[in-house]
Amino acid sequence: MESSATWENPTTCSIQEPDGLRQARSCAHCGDALTASGTVESGGRYFCCTGCSSVYELLHNLGLDDFYKIRDAQFTGKIETPLDTDSAESYDYLNTQSFKELYTREDDPLTMNFYIEGIHCAACLWLLEKIPEFAPGVLSVSLNMSDNTASVTFDKPGHYSLFPQTVRKLGYKAHPIKIDGDESVRELKRKEGRTALIRISVAAVCAGNIMLLSAAIYAGAGGLFKDYFGLLNLVLTIPVVTYCAYPFYKSVWSSLRVKRATVDIPVVFVILTGFLLSSYSYYKGTGEVYFDSITAFVFLLLTSRYFLKIVQDRAAGTEPISRSLFSSNRVLIRDDKTREYSLMPIERLEPGQAIKLTKGGRIPVDGELLSPSSEFSLSVLTGENIPVKVLKGNLVYAGSVLESQEAVVRVKKTGKHTRIGEILDTVNRNYQSKFNFNTQSDRYATLFTLIVGVLAVVSFFVVSSLYSPGEALKRVIAFVLIACPCAFIFALPLSLGLSIKSGVKKGYLVKDTSIFDKLSNIKNVFFDKTGTLTKGAFKILKWDTDALALQDKAAVLVIERESGHPVARAVVSFLSDEQLPAPKVDEFRVIPSKGVGARVNGSSYSLLSESIDQHSDINAIISTKIVISRDGEPISEIFLGDSLKEDAKYVVDELQHRGKNVFILSGDRESSVRLTGKKLGIPEGRLFWEKTPEEKSEIINIIKETGAGHHKMQEWGQTGARSAIGGQELIKGQTGARSAIGRQELIQTPYGYSMMIGDGLNDAPALTSADAGIAIQGSVEESMKVSDAYILNNDLFSVLELINQGGSVKYTLRRNTVFSVLYNLAAGSFALLGFISPLIAAVLMPLSSLLLIGSSLYGQQNPRFKELKARL
Amino acid sequence: MNIIFLTLGVSIAIAVSFLFAFIWAARNGQYDDLETPGHRMLLDDDDETEKTNKNKTEDRDS
């Protein structure tokens, strides 16, 4: 209260703004807003961090200033701040034999492929492809912006490290891509795509020419012309019904073997009967010839399937999850005889080996700690950033990040067998089953096929008994052509594909399009706390530094530099911009679980944590209060903690206002979760704390089941107990009993889909258990594998937009379905009654497709929530 | 009217030659990445000015 000015803007406490800063409010490289504390000045320009300034300097020195010109012209978003440009990471290991074997092809040892992180626009393309001009040893760089990969050639095998090193200096990050498995899958996909295109092109050429020739015949060309044109049509149809239509035959054949109906059955029926009948008519010189209808039909169908495939491929990521988790691909292994360390690819790790990690490194295995004691951040598993101390001989889990300087670990389990590996494995399986789940519309299409098939057969017999088999065949072909659900199938992927595209513009990536089916019927919304509802950074929320004397500040700084505690780190970084003297620290002592004390300049200082009386500020989640005392007199208080995102309250209110149940699933402590819940107005019974990733997933499953009407009280008790065991492993247990608080609430939850919004990795199991999993932070590649959608701008508001879009997509799909059904009923019955000839049917079919496409496009124009956004 | 057969033959020959051109392009992977070349094309002009700029700065430096 006494320092409201500092409170509102803690970073401007006591630093003078440089003069030019008023004009340059944003970073010259990445365009981020500048803050007084972190601004770096270089050559009259201002940057948000040293990373940005060093990239700028490098580009300037290389004469590549055009990067900014191109970027400003091409790219309106914000580029990411460069990824650790000055990290000491060396890529020399790439030049060794064991890595060369993994990353290059034997027959082409000079080419290596890289996945590039941080690409956003044409300026990046320009810059990266310029690398050969200033990096000797790199011969060529060819970047593919659709999958962010670069194929790089080098002048000789020992130079592989040159490319990633140069790229890092430019502010991107390059990960070499392994040659085995994935690469060949990708190659196969590419080939498939090319073949599909060729089939379409052949069908287009044949169908186009056939239409021209047929037009002449319809116009009344007779005699010789009619004969030759007919012959030409027949010849042109042959490649279409053999080569182009091959995928349909294949699909029908494989579906018949497993005795399932597919939409391709009527397609093949039309193609084959149409072709045979027409050939026969041509040979006899009488009767109807449908070469034009068949070829146009095949062409349209192939095209629609091609688009469908593109949409699906975008949805299914082919890369294995674990690879991106351990973006580092090598590790220091100890040779047990010589006790020396050497770099080895992670894939070659075996249980029993000892590996060495340095600060910030992620452990690739489950193992036993050999070093005396080290601090690890378990954020991948728990989502919380505060490090945990592990003692010698205890287990450390793969994915944990080392916070101490160095640690040696004995490998116990590797790869899939590690705990995180198992989690990711489950996620993979869940994801597979989710992806195979037929959307409602798919099921309609199959049902539709069956009805059409049955109707066709029945009416063939009815009509042929009433008239003649020839007339019956004609009517049935017209019927199947008209009733073919391909218009429907075409419209569906199109409107989903368009939704995906417009989602990107609005700030979210949608992977699994079946999410749109569910979004409008969401009942339970689960939020992760740290990093999702809150900003996820443990920092100083309030500290009145102006009231402190300079020497006291200096004393606090030097004392906290001695300590490695997260609180100390926050304090040190808070004070790092101030010009402070560095007096000597005497008698430094750690008071366990309370704080630190020391003697500086003859005064005795202590920094102790105290219990918190909650602050009323709307967004602050204070978790720690530190009292600074000099010679026993308290002189200042520091409040540390996390803060809610600005839009959290609004989004939660809006969701609850719409009648959805909002829950918090957190790995954090009870007090923080309760406080968050209170600030957001979420009822007590819907808060869950100290949950492991597995437990979060279980809670969602249980709520899903009970929500569906099965009252599984007993089983809930069991799972609660089971969870408690799981909890013991990571954090102190006591989870099961507390979860039971939520029980009453859960039983009453009415039926509806559940949605989980969380962090990409540590919430992975929960994200896949929920009907709709939305990841809001973490690396895009990682999160996209476990969630249905990823929010790009870290903005909770996008959750609301996503739900709205779900509604509008569902509405469009429903409109398309209704139209489709009505059209098919009307046109189909006319065809069966003999009012529509196959030719008219072949024209009507593409027309109805066009109508549906138009309807899908129109569906994108629905209101975009502007009014609500304005209220924010 | 026999000329019609000639024009027909020519038109089909043209169509087929275009088809083969397309197949050749597709097999060569020209349709694999539809995004990057579009950007790359836009950059070519800047490329030239950039080079002259670079030369200028080099001149100045020396």
Check if the beta carbon of residue A739 is closer than 8 Å to that of residue A703: no
Q: Please state which of the ranges A321-335, A358-372, A486-500, A564-578 shows the lowest mean pLDDT.
A: A321-335
Residues A665 and A737 in one domain: yes
Classify residue A584 by burial, with Cβ atoms within 10 Å: 0-12, 13-18, 19+.
Answer: exposed
Residues A596 and A658 in one domain: no
Residues A558 and A578 in one domain: yes
Residues A219 and A310 in one domain: yes
Mean pLDDT of A545-549: 76
Q: Is residue A168 part of a domain?
A: no
Residues A516 and A650 in one domain: yes
Question: Are B26 and A194 a contacting pair at CB < 8 A?
Answer: yes
Residues A754 and A769 in one domain: yes
The rounded distance, in Å, linking the Cα atoms of B36 and A100 is: 28
Per-domain boundaries in chain B: 1-31, 33-62
Q: Is residue A530 part of a domain?
A: yes
Amino acid at A811: Y
Of A73, A68, A48, A72, the closest CA to residue A58 belongs to A68
- Residue B61 in this model has a pLDDT that exceeds 50: no
SS3 A722: helix
ipTM confidence score: 0.75
Interface of A to B at Cβ within 8 Å reads 63-66, 69-70, 74, 121-122, 125-126, 129, 143-146, 190, 193-194, 197-198, 201-202, 205, 208-209, 225, 228, 232
Share the mean pLDDT of chain A.
Answer: 72
At B18, is the pLDDT very low, low, confident or very high (cuts 50, 70, 90)? very high
Q: Is residue A332 part of a domain?
A: yes
Classify residue A2 by burial, with Cβ atoms within 10 Å: 0-12, 13-18, 19+.
Answer: exposed
Express each pLDDT in A372-397 by its tens digit. 878 787 766 665 566 777 888 888 88
Evaluate the CA torsion angle A418, A424, A427, A432 in order and state its sign. Answer: negative
- Top-confidence residue, A757 or A746: A757
Read off the CATH number of the domain in which A626 is found: 3.40.1110.10
Q: Is residue A103 part of a domain?
A: no
**Residue B20 confidence (pLDDT):** 94
Whether B60 contacts chain A with CB within 8 A:
no
Which residues touch B26 (CB under 8 Å, ≥6 apart)?
A194, A197, A198, A201
Task: Count interface pairs A-B at CB distance under 8 A.
Answer: 75
**Residue A524 confidence (pLDDT):** 85
Compare all CA atoms of chain B with the CA of A121 and give the residue at the minimum distance: B39
Which residues touch A262 (CB under 8 Å, ≥6 apart)?
A251, A252, A255, A446, A449
Domain-ending residue, one of A292, A321, A350? A321
Which residues touch A316 (CB under 8 Å, ≥6 apart)?
A435
Residues A400 and A461 in one domain: no
- Residue A473 in this model has a pLDDT that exceeds 60: yes
The rounded distance, in Å, linking the Cα atoms of A236 and A82 is: 57
**Residue A846 confidence (pLDDT):** 65
Question: Are B43 and A208 a contacting pair at CB < 8 A?
Answer: no
Residues A611 and A670 in one domain: no
Express each pLDDT in A602-644 by its tens digit. 788 888 877 666 555 666 777 777 888 888 888 888 888 778 8
Q: Is residue A549 part of a domain?
A: yes
The rounded distance, in Å, linking the Cα atoms of A68 and A74 is: 10
The 10 Å Cβ neighbour count of residue A788 is 30
Read off the CATH number of the domain in which A401 is found: 2.70.150.10
Give me the domain span that covers residue A851: 441-507+805-861
Tally of domains within chain A: 5
Q: Is residue A422 part of a domain?
A: no
At A4, is the pLDDT very low, low, confident or very high (cuts 50, 70, 90)? very low
Q: Which two tokens mark A839?
A: 């030719």
Chain length of chain B: 62
Question: Are B54 and A202 a contacting pair at CB < 8 A?
Answer: no
Residues A741 and A655 in one domain: yes
The rounded distance, in Å, linking the Cα atoms of A436 and A448 is: 20
pTM assigned to the model? 0.57
Question: Are B18 and A205 a contacting pair at CB < 8 A?
Answer: yes
